[in-house]
Structure 1
Amino acid sequence: MPRAALNPLVVGKLIGDVLDMFVPAAELAIGNGCEIKPEKPRLRIGGSTGSPNYDTLLMVDPDAPSRSAPTLREWLHWLVIDISKGSDASEGRELMPYIYGASATDQLSSAFRQHGLMETVKRRPVERSLFNAGQFASENDVGLPAAALYFNSQKQASGNKKH
């Protein structure tokens, strides 16, 4: 991935505040189309044949509940470990089930390469608020991210849809 692809992460202060600077080693693809829905997204983590066989996925709102008052930063939307290489994230072991962000939200999905199956999890999260992605990665020895994807979603002002 070219260096310019990291710019939104740097400009949004996600590199430094949430994730350490990293060199992308995988591709993270999300499949919900252009509409964010209450169902968990289809998320696939790609990688080269020489990369480890398992991944960890973290999906957080880096500045919950709002950019102007991030008192719950980071809000954990989804945490999945032991995702087999090339599989959909929902096929891994969920440590925190997916929860839909009901309001306007920023979401950061990051994939970490595991060294093998994660037999034990140090400090398994019990709450969603005040989660620390970097601390979780460090404590569980998954290292720097291999890929990250950031987006902002907003409710539409008109229409009766509740997505």
Structure 2
Amino acid sequence: MPRSTDPLVIGGVIGDVLEPFTSSVSMGIVYNNCPQVINCCELKPSKILNRPRIEIGGDDLRTFYTLVMVDPDAPSPGNPTQREYLHWLITNIPATTGANFGWRQNFNTRDFAEIYNLELPVAAMYFNCKRENDQSSGRRR
């Protein structure tokens, strides 16, 4: 059986956090002083302190999106005791927005989607974050 080359599958986002889905809307994430975030990129904490600019595609401004940012293996990949640590959640997004931060431990993306009757995701992205002086693998976001 062939292995997937999808970074969301390789990174465990699909499987650990999300059910399999087909991306149907473009999404871009840009932090100040950083190029646009791409799946599986590695960022330093000092580069992502400020809120990012999130751009969500779509042609119909009557369609609203929900944006969730979780850390699926917090506090560390080897000891994910705070699995799906919620960094922020924004609802009712018509196309493009900025994001505000909030935190919550032990969030569950699948449960949230079920409670609020959300459909399958239309886009997803993840990046790794490493401490400034750490050479080992960081957390997935």
Higher strand share: 1
CA distance in 1, matches of 2:18, 2:61: 21
**Identity of matched residues, %:** 39
1:13 aligns with 2:16: no
- The Cα shift of 1:50 comes to 5.3
The code of the aligned residue for 1:25 comes to S
Give the gaps of 5 or more residues in structure 2: 36-43, 135-141
The aligned residue for residue 41 of structure 2 is none
Give the TM-score normalised by the residue count of structure 2.
Answer: 0.75
**1:154 aligned onto 2:130:** yes
Separation in 2, partners of 1:19, 1:144: 9
Mapped contact 1:45–1:89 kept (Cα < 8 A): no
Question: Counterpart of 2:38?
Answer: none
Shifted more, 148-157 versus 30-39: the winner is: 30-39
The answer as to whether partners of 2:86 and 2:104 remain within 8 angstroms in 1 is: yes
Q: Indicate which of 76, 100, 120 corresponds to 1:144.
A: 120
Structure 2 residue 97 is the aligned partner of structure 1 residue 88: yes
Structure 1 residue 69 displacement after superposition: 0.2
Over residues 87-140 of structure 1, what are the superposed CA-to-partner deviations in whole Å (9 max), with x where a residue is unaligned?
2144xxxxxx514xxxxxxxxxxxxxxxxxxxxxxxxxxx71110011101111
Flag as ranges the 4+ runs of structure 1 deviating above 4 A: none
